[in-house]
Structure 1
Amino acid sequence: MTAKDDLKNVLKRFKPLYKACRYVRHPSVLKRRLDSWAYRWMLLLKGPSSLSDAGEPSGVTVSLTSYGKRLNIVHLTILSLMRQSVRPDRIVLWLDVEEGSGAVPGSLRKLEGYGLDIRYGCEDLKGHKKYFWALREFADSCVITIDDDVMYPADTVESLVAAHKHFPDAVVARRVNRMVSADGELVPYAEWEFEWHECDVPRDDLLATGVGGVLYPPRCFGDQAFDLDPIESTGLGNDDLWLKANEIIEGRKVAWAPCERMHPHEIAAEQDDGLSVLNVQGGGNDASIKAIERALGVSFASCVE
């Protein structure tokens, strides 16, 4: 066992104490945990609701991907989407070749009878899987992409559809970050304005972030958005940034979809946010932006006034 492993074991022992101290110092964190716990049990008690019973078609496809241990919790995400005030026409879950039908738990397979469409054998494009095939197969539909480790408030689809009706050519999202520049240069990603919500008018300088839910209008992108070579060469952990670059190419603006709760309900007590920390604080997103700009010949700074 290495010194690093020893340190991990020590930290694991102190985690309950750390969490208790955090709750005392920041009661809002405990409140979010309790809200999420209550929402989780409400979904489980109510159970799934068939998409075919939703009545009038919404014209919306919800698309997501999952992997590994998250396959044991993603049914909660999907349950929250089956209980929306405006239900999607379909929910499609894209799994790569390593996640065959034998790896899918019964809690998830059960939802196929209520309208969940599980697609197996996809190329492992990480987060890009949630849009890569859906935006082409359902090109005439609005596609909402979501994350697989949170539960969505009941107004998620309704708020995104309402924003789309106001701005049919824009990408709309419940969580957006505003890009910031200084002296004509884009500042580091960690210095952008996060969870910006000053107005709902479409803008060039907004980045739609996937965790809150993002709606892409029909035929949103050209063929270059699905070119695997630059997707893979610029890194597979940057799907939000890759799509923003293609929005720049298409001249497509982004709008914030007004909502009371931008943060979905967490499923796990401790979210796996290692990649997020690396991308934001570790400069991973800044490196991705430079790589995407070189590959596509675009400038993120050109979007900022």
Structure 2
Amino acid sequence: MLNELYHFATPWAKATKRQINVNRMLGVAANALYPIYCAWSPLPKQRTTQGERMVVSLTTFPLRIGKVHLTIQSILRQSRPADRILLWLSKEEFPEEAQLPANLLRLKEKGLDIRFCDNIRSFKKVFYTAQEFENDVIVTADDDALYPENWLEGLWDTHEKYPGCVCCYRAHEITFEGGRVAPYQEWYGLSPDKKGPSEALFPVGVGGVLYPAGYFSGIEFDSGKIMKLCPTADDMWLKIVGAQKRIPAVKVSTNSKEWFTIRNSQRQCLMSVNTAGRMRNDEALQNLMEYYHVTAEMLGGTSTEQKGKG
């Protein structure tokens, strides 16, 4: 059902003002129709896959718990199913599983695995999954997006073509000045007309990101240290994890569409916190590069000539 709506959407990086307005109207339509569709259309039976396992992992918080079931419904209705779907919740925010919304608990019968953990903010969506399933393919998802039915299929097909890469729908392109990483706001937002693979591509979590098996092997999992270095910049930490191993990123398509956001889900954009708050993206990246001994070269290059690659 969502595939049909996304068919009429235009990639935001290339959209005109009129097309952006059409995208927004499609998002309104999706928000109105998808809950009805889910209520009347049974979820598919759980299917098993052969070969590598794919684990989808996400988290949420109290302001979004009432509607996260819609995101999970969209993940359960994929043409290429996930082998596991994990929802990580803070045990401080959700002390009793029985008090969770009934429409969320019902999805456990369809394969949803609800786990409880310490509250390490947005890192919950990957931190614990990466340790338990490091030998599997891991896909991170946001908790307020409506994913098209071919979302995982697109990531998986790209993974099969580029098995050693991080695969994503959205990515910025890191730029450089004088042999150093340029300020975050000077990067090429959404990297228009760039696909990769490239070490300079910076995956953006909201679109969905696939990490190949072994991506997190040998990584230090110290939540206290991470929260000091970059408490709100999980995308930064995830990029640095791969930079240590010189793992490039590649996009599913050159210019991807932006997924519809669930309305009234109380979106709290960490990007605005990072760029204007006490812990900026630039500060977080500098902290991480220093701690993990990552150089600009390991992030894609040291000169402006690197901008055109990918």
TM-score under structure 1 length normalisation: 0.83
Offset at residue 277 of structure 1 (A): 1.6
Offset at residue 281 of structure 1 (A): 5.1
Matched, 1:277 2:272: yes
Identify the match of residue 171 of structure 2 among 173, 176, 201.
Answer: 176
Q: Is the 8 A contact 1:200 1:258 kept in 2?
A: yes
Matched, 1:81 2:99: no
Corresponding residue for residue 289 of structure 1: 285
Alignment of 1:236-247 (within 5 A): 236-247=231-242
Corresponding residue for residue 108 of structure 1: 104
Offset at residue 182 of structure 1 (A): 2.0
Residue 96 and residue 183 in structure 1: after superposition, are their counterparts in 2 closer, same or farther (change >3 A)? same
Alignment of 1:180-199 (within 5 A): 180-199=175-194
Offset at residue 155 of structure 1 (A): 1.2
Query: Alpha-carbon deviations, 1:118-168, whole Å to 9, x = none?
Result: 112x11111111111212212222110101111111111000000100111
Corresponding residue for residue 137 of structure 1: 132
Distance 2:123 2:185 in 1: 22
Corresponding residue for residue 255 of structure 1: 250
The secondary structure found in structure 1 opposite 2:219 is helix
Which of the two has higher C-alpha Rg? 1
Q: Is the 8 A contact 1:207 1:254 kept in 2?
A: yes
The secondary structure found in structure 2 opposite 1:75 is helix
292-301 vs 63-72, which moves further: 292-301
Residue 229 and residue 26 in structure 1: after superposition, are their counterparts in 2 closer, same or farther (change >3 A)? closer
Distance 1:259 1:36 in 2: 24
Residue 206 and residue 56 in structure 1: after superposition, are their counterparts in 2 closer, same or farther (change >3 A)? same
Distance 1:25 1:88 in 2: 32
Offset at residue 262 of structure 1 (A): 2.9
Matched, 1:162 2:138: no
Q: Is the 8 A contact 1:221 1:250 kept in 2?
A: no
Q: Which has the higher contact order (CA 8 A, sep 6+)?
A: 2
The secondary structure found in structure 1 opposite 2:134 is coil
Q: Counterpart amino acid of 2:283? A: A
Residue 87 and residue 125 in structure 1: after superposition, are their counterparts in 2 closer, same or farther (change >3 A)? same
Corresponding residue for residue 91 of structure 1: 85
Structure 1, unaligned stretches of length 5 or more? 1-22
Q: Is the 8 A contact 2:230 2:237 kept in 1?
A: no
Distance 2:271 2:238 in 1: 17
Q: Is the 8 A contact 2:56 2:84 kept in 1?
A: yes
Q: Is the 8 A contact 1:146 1:213 kept in 2?
A: yes
Corresponding residue for residue 195 of structure 2: 200
Query: Alpha-carbon deviations, 1:201-241, whole Å to 9, x = none?
Result: 31110111111100011111233342224212113211110
Aligned residues: 280
Identify the match of residue 211 of structure 1 among 206, 211, 217.
Answer: 206
Q: Counterpart amino acid of 1:247? A: G
The answer to which structure has the higher helix fraction is 1
Offset at residue 89 of structure 1 (A): 1.1
Q: Is the 8 A contact 2:69 2:103 kept in 1?
A: yes
Corresponding residue for residue 25 of structure 2: 31
Offset at residue 176 of structure 1 (A): 0.7
Offset at residue 194 of structure 1 (A): 1.6
Residue 33 and residue 106 in structure 1: after superposition, are their counterparts in 2 closer, same or farther (change >3 A)? same
Residue 70 and residue 259 in structure 1: after superposition, are their counterparts in 2 closer, same or farther (change >3 A)? farther
Distance 1:156 1:24 in 2: 25
136-145 vs 151-160, which moves further: 136-145
Q: Counterpart amino acid of 1:257? A: V
Structure 2, unaligned stretches of length 5 or more? 1-16
Q: Is the 8 A contact 1:230 1:295 kept in 2?
A: no
Distance 2:38 2:256 in 1: 18
Query: Alpha-carbon deviations, 1:246-292, whole Å to 9, x = none?
Result: 11111111111128753111101576244322223557111111111
